Amino acid sequence: MADNGAADPGNNNNNKPDASEGTIIKVTVKTPKDKEEIAISEDASVTQFKEEISRRFKAKQDQLVLIFAGKILKDGDSLNQHGIKDGLTVHLVIKTAHKAGDGASSSPSSSSSTQAGSSSSPSPGTNPSTAGTTGPAAPPTQTPNILTGFGDLSSLAGLGMGSANFMELQQQMQRQLMSNPEMLSQIMENPLVQNMMSNPDLMRQMIVANPQMQQLMERNPEISHMLNNPELMRQTMELARNPAMMQEMMRNQDRALSNLESIPGGYNALRRMYTDIQEPMFSAAREQFGSNPFSALGGNSESGAQPSRTENREPLPNPWGPPSSTSSSENGGGTTAGTGTTTGTNPSVSNPLGINAASLGNGMFNSPGMQSLMQQISENPQLMQNMLSAPYMRSMMQSLAQNPELASQNPASSPSAGTNTAQQQQLMQQMLQMFAGGGGGGTQTPEVRFQSQLDQLNAMGFINREANLQALIATGGDINAAIERLLGSQPS
Amino acid sequence: MAASSGVKVPRNFRLLEELEEGQKGVGDGTVSWGLEDDEDMTLTRWTGMIIGPARTNYENRIYSLKVECGPKYPEAPPTVRFVTKISMNGINNSNGTVDSRSIPILSKWQNSYSIKIVLQELRRLMTSKENMKLPQPPEGQTYSN
């Protein structure tokens, strides 16, 4: 008559295999954020248990507070004493001076003084982008929210704030930063930080390593596209570094967008853009990044430089599609092309603005703005390349390639553009080539920019200038990466 | 006797169930509870633990409580008392007792509530506007009784 489930408190009702026939038991250790299963002898003392835990959670033993069944486990006790058996759960709290593993700063006054004091000796440079740094000298405190990308640098325990859990540290810093904008600019100005930020790979690694970011990326693949474009990263970072530039960029973009509104159907497209893309991303990013300019990086890719315009804001960087008068507002911004997504395709993830590639050529081609775009493009191949670095260009290209009629339709329907079929095709090829060449570009041609790198590659024996250039473009000027690319592509 | 809903579950069974849950760490890991004394056959005295929620003045602190489930439990609410000093509405400042009339879950007790729910509710109240910014006594202090 007894109810087994209720009447057996110590019963192992969960599915653990009976591992306690020896003396090893498996105990689940749970923190508010995390959960690990730890195997330990059932006769062990709390101290031994903590040793094991400190290894697994990468925290110091004296920072660990174990709670079981509402009681704090003292070091001198044994697990047996508290009745800790196989399959049960112990709660763990990782204290960090005044922290208890539950989040960020509790005593802002003391933490802010430490931060302010050490803001001149930033440690971002000492923290390699991957997690698991071994204890840099300088306190990591004032590094800005970009450090969310650092992942769990809990080995930083004992440093600076003594934060065992880097997440807490970050949150703490975020709070600091949010309440003190000057601090942010201070940080930004610091050469070390700037140095770090100018390394796109580093930044990308950091950002990607952050689990929150990863979630964000899952939700919005554009972000991962954006992150993978080295050029874009660099420009974004420069932007972040230079708030004035960022503002300028935003302004340009806003202007472009407002132009969009004036096309028929443009407003709807805009709205769709916003609700489908920007809102979730922005709010997702805002949780983590607060008011940090890097929120742009994570949540709002439009703050990326010109090429990034194509990432999320434009319905379609259609080479033949009309920029619909946005090209008039900026040269580089010609990428905000073809917004009149009057086609009926609903926005999907890879085609965020609902561009129905098939019907592209039709409505858009005839507007005057389009023609000026064409001209600009022909004059500035770089622009074309920028436009093309958007990921979904690829899909559009494919569909266009498959649909030669469409392609021919395009040239045909813009008589006054002065572009004839041959030119169009040439343009197409050029675009394809550039696109294949990967994202790159800026205001100078790659050759000019990578001149020194090209020379170096030459000196090293890579004599294929074309290939070198391609590799450099693809890696954004990073010689080592370019070499690897080159070596990788050569038959061995 | 089956413990299906709608049937009045005997006190001991309820408490044993709660004991088990406490040991298994059911929940999100921010509260913990268990028998104060494992030999306590009446299952009356319990200890609880609340981890102060983030972004409040309680954050990073571990609050220890004593919960007493009287003979009428679960029909009657348990009496709860903070051991760790805390400054919070509804908690007596000098001895840490939780005022059953000011904490809604205790004043409007239902027999489906449990110790876990009480602890979680107290934790939730820590995040309320009126509580979250209350200045707290230094960490580690306890009430003398």
Residues of chain A positioned with their CB less than 8 A from the CB of B25: 28, 30, 88-91
Amino acid identity of residue B79, one-letter, is T
Tell whether A202 is covered by a domain: no
Q: What 3-state DSSP class applies to A72?
A: strand
- Cβ atoms B51, B84 nearer than 8 A: no
Which of A69, A98, A104 is opposite residue B32, by nearest beta carbon? Answer: A69
Q: What is the pLDDT of residue B79?
A: 93
ipTM of the complex model? 0.84
φ, ψ of residue A89 in degrees (nearest 5): -115, 135
Q: What 3-state DSSP class applies to A384?
A: helix
User: HSE on the CB side for B72, CA within 13 Å?
Assistant: 7
What is the residue-averaged pLDDT of chain A? Answer: 59
Tell whether A464 is covered by a domain: yes
Whole-number Å distance between alpha carbons of A304 and A335 = 12
Whole-number Å distance between alpha carbons of A486 and B15 = 69
- Cβ within 8 Å, pair A6-B49: no
Q: Using 50, 70 and 90 to split pLDDT, how confident is the model at A266?
A: low
- Cβ atoms B58, B136 nearer than 8 A: yes
**Count of domains in chain A?**
2
Rounded to an integer, the average pLDDT of A19-38 is 77
Q: Using 50, 70 and 90 to split pLDDT, how confident is the model at A286?
A: low
- Distance set, CA B134 to CA A67, A71, A102, A126, B53 (Å): 26, 26, 18, 38, 13
Cis peptide before A140 (omega within 30 of 0): no
The alpha helices in A290-420, defined as continuous H runs, are: 294-299, 306-312, 360-364, 368-379, 381-388, 391-402, 404-412
Give the best residue of A102, A107, A170, A174 to mutate against chain B (max B CB count within 10 A).
A102
Cα A19–chain centre separation: 43
**pLDDT(B101) > 80:** yes
CA dihedral A151, A155, A160, A162 (to 10 degrees): 100
Q: Using 50, 70 and 90 to split pLDDT, how confident is the model at A355?
A: very low
Q: What 3-state DSSP class applies to A486?
A: helix
Measured in residues, chain B has a length of 145
- Identify the closest residue of chain A to B19 by CA–CA distance: A9
Q: Using 50, 70 and 90 to split pLDDT, how confident is the model at A133?
A: very low
Q: What is the pLDDT of residue A336?
A: 37
Element (H, E) at A172: helix A166-179
Domain architecture of chain B: domains with CATH: 11-127 (3.10.110.10)
Tell whether A171 is covered by a domain: no
Q: What is the pLDDT of residues A65-124, one digit of tens each?
A: 888 888 888 888 888 888 888 888 888 888 775 443 333 333 333 333 333 333 333 333
Q: What is the pLDDT of residues A187-216, one digit of tens each?
A: 666 666 666 555 656 666 666 666 666 676
Alpha-carbon distance A72 to nearest alpha carbon in chain B (angstroms): 8
Tell whether A425 is covered by a domain: no
Interior CA angle at A391 toward A239 and A207, to 5°? 45
A287 and chain B in contact, CB less than 8 A: no
- Cβ atoms A196, A124 nearer than 8 A: yes
Smallest Cα–Cα separation from A207: which of A298, A320, A110?
A: A298
Residues of chain A positioned with their CB less than 8 A from the CB of B20: 6, 8-11, 13
Q: What percent of chain A has pLDDT over 90?
A: 0
- Identify the closest residue of chain B to A98 by CA–CA distance: B60
Tokens of B85: 């000093």
Residue at which a domain ends, from A62, A94, A126:
A94
Tell whether A470 is covered by a domain: yes
Residue at which a domain ends, from A45, A74, A94:
A94
- Cβ within 8 Å, pair A83-B60: no
Smallest Cα–Cα separation from A473: which of A409, A389, A414?
A: A389
- Cβ within 8 Å, pair A70-B55: no
Give residue A462's domain range: 446-488
Whole-number Å distance between alpha carbons of A251 and A245 = 10
Whole-number Å distance between alpha carbons of A129 and A288 = 18
Smallest Cα–Cα separation from A147: which of A176, A170, A180, A168?
A: A170
CA dihedral A233, A235, A241, A242 (to 10 degrees): -160
- Identify the closest residue of chain A to B119 by CA–CA distance: A70
Task: Tell me the CATH number at A51.
Answer: 3.10.20.90
Tell whether A454 is covered by a domain: yes
Task: Tell me the CATH number at A459.
Answer: 1.10.8.10
Tell whether A226 is covered by a domain: no
Q: What is the pLDDT of residues A361-418, one digit of tens each?
A: 444 444 445 555 566 655 555 555 555 555 445 555 555 555 544 444 444 444 444 4
Express the helix, strand and coil content of chain A in percent, nearest 5 each. Answer: 60, 5, 35
Residue at which a domain ends, from A50, A68, A94:
A94
Residue identified by tokens 């890579």 is A462
Contact residues for A218 (Cβ-Cβ < 8 A; gap 6+) = none
Q: What is the pLDDT of residue B97?
A: 92
Q: What DSSP string runs through A389-435?
A: TSHHHHHHHHHHHH-HHHHHHHHHT-GGGT--HHHHHHHHHHHHHHH
Residues 98-157 of A with CB under 8 A from B: 98-104, 106
Q: What is the pLDDT of residues A458-480, one digit of tens each?
A: 888 888 888 888 888 888 888 88
